[in-house]
Chain A
Amino acid sequence: MSDKKHIDRLFQEKLKDFEARPGDSVWENITTELEFNKKQNKVVPLWLKITGIAASLLLLFSLGNKIFNLSEPIIEDNVVNTLPDTESIDNENATVKNSIELDTNESENIANEETSTKRPLELNRKLNLTTLGKPDNNVTISKTSNSIDNTTLKMASKVLKETFAKQEETIAQTDLNTDFVINNLVKTKVSNESNDDSIIRELSPQNTSEGRVITDNDSKEISNSKTLVTDNEVEEKLSLTNVLAATNEDESIKNEKDKIDRWSVSPNIAPVYYNTLGKGSHIDEQFVNSTKTGEYNTSYGINIAYAINEKLSVRSGVHNVNLSYDTNNVILFEDLSNNSFTNLLRNTNHLKNITLSDNTQNIAALNGSDLIVQESMGLFPNENAAISQRIGYYEIPVELQYGIVNKDFGVNLIGGFSTFLLNNNEVFSEFQERRNYIGKANNINNISFSANFGVGLDYKFSDNFKFNFEPTFKYQINAFNETSGNFKPYIIGVYTGFSFKF
């Protein structure tokens, strides 16, 4: 007798070590699925994507162009495209042509005959004529095709088409074309029938001359073949529209895939800090060792970014940047008296890189930290003024942004360069809260550049709306054309703003 036990325990005990072997098909299915995933996950290289897009656009434009100019050019194109369709046909042509070239009279005869008669029966005869005339080539011709086959017929119609397209050209031209026609027809009708009277008749010189006159009827023949041509045309158009539809489909699929919003606009504002890496002065040699203060100012503007892929985007924009930079401890004095001392002072201590405004022409500046100056003037350093330089630029950055983390919270690396266009250039003297305009710097380049490097942090509020925070370092490359000492200006900006994708 068995004991009663809880149903849970029964199942637990019985199924504890239960194992079962699955069917063999399971592993096969797994490998196929993994293989499939692998293929799908293969990353298409960037260059392939770009060239792919470019190629499909090119294709689209060129096809579009053709569709809208759908008339003669298309026919010509088709002929050009389809003529060299199969090598075998060409080869066959060549052999037949050879045979004809060997006897020009004969070939002419054939040509003219063809244009005047239009009857397959007679074509047959002509064929026989060729074979008769050239027993050597007979073998090759009969070898190449013993029956009418579709490709050669098509070939013939294409040649007719060509003839039609070039209808307005010289008769000689059409003559040549008819030669072609015959060549093809000859091919299609090759047979080893025995010769009959008609062949002999055609061989006669009278017929040849008659045929020549008839060459003018070429166009008639051509008009007969018109139906063929239009048939073909319709066919070609159809195939074209198919191709176009297919490309459109491709495009739309691609578009759906690419539905990551590629464009984004981000207005931003930043406190910018302007300072120099080296010891130097952009004003005058005597201030190389003076203390200088970079000041906080603002930059504001708008960026437009284009996402090349999910990680990499290119962006540009326009910013208005205001910068200011103080050279401290400067003694500025103005003396209107024209004695030799002040003149000397003015001449030796003028501010080399500053063009003074009209009403400050008499200003001279001294370095307040210079002990000799301090003693001679009887001044205290803290009473001294500062020269404050204000520079304004329009900045046009071109930067690449690479996403390292692409979640709600994103981290990007930013690198690029900026072009700076000078829009403001002022120099002030600052003394105890008083500020006087004294002139402008004459050593600032109107256009200058900077190398930029930054780290961008962003937070996604929604798929299309982000908050950005981008501390960026910009090293100015040729801001000044003449500085004293080692003056290497840089800008640090903490660009903050929102970006909208669309």
Chain B
Amino acid sequence: MSRPADETLSLVVEREMPFPPEKLWRALTQPHLIEEWLMKNDFRPVVGHRFNLERTPRPDVNIVIDCEVRIVEPNKTLSYTWAAYGLESVVTWTLSPTGAGTRLRMEQSGFKPDQKQAYQGARHGWQQFFANLERILARSD
């Protein structure tokens, strides 16, 4: 077997939005807009920029996520690392124009910084695993 020894977890959420990619891009990259749908932040669309996402859902709970910008391709791809609670992951937004608007895809993949290559090959393994698991669980009910 030539698959990498260290595989990770990934999840994908996709939605078709009736708006042009340029508009989605603004919502994904302008700090005051990001705050409206995600969290407070000091984001800048500059590769290598480190920022925090922060939320205080209750007075005694403060959530802080450490991020670093990896990819900025205006109106197409935005990717940043996402580290919280011992899980290091990468969040990647992909915008694809459709006839009626934009298909927005968010993929969050767990990874280890020194094993980026393993991370590249990881997604299929986990998706396969969960697909298998779902079938098994469906049968055992």
Real complex partners, A and B?
A: no
Chain A interface residues toward B at CB < 8 A: none
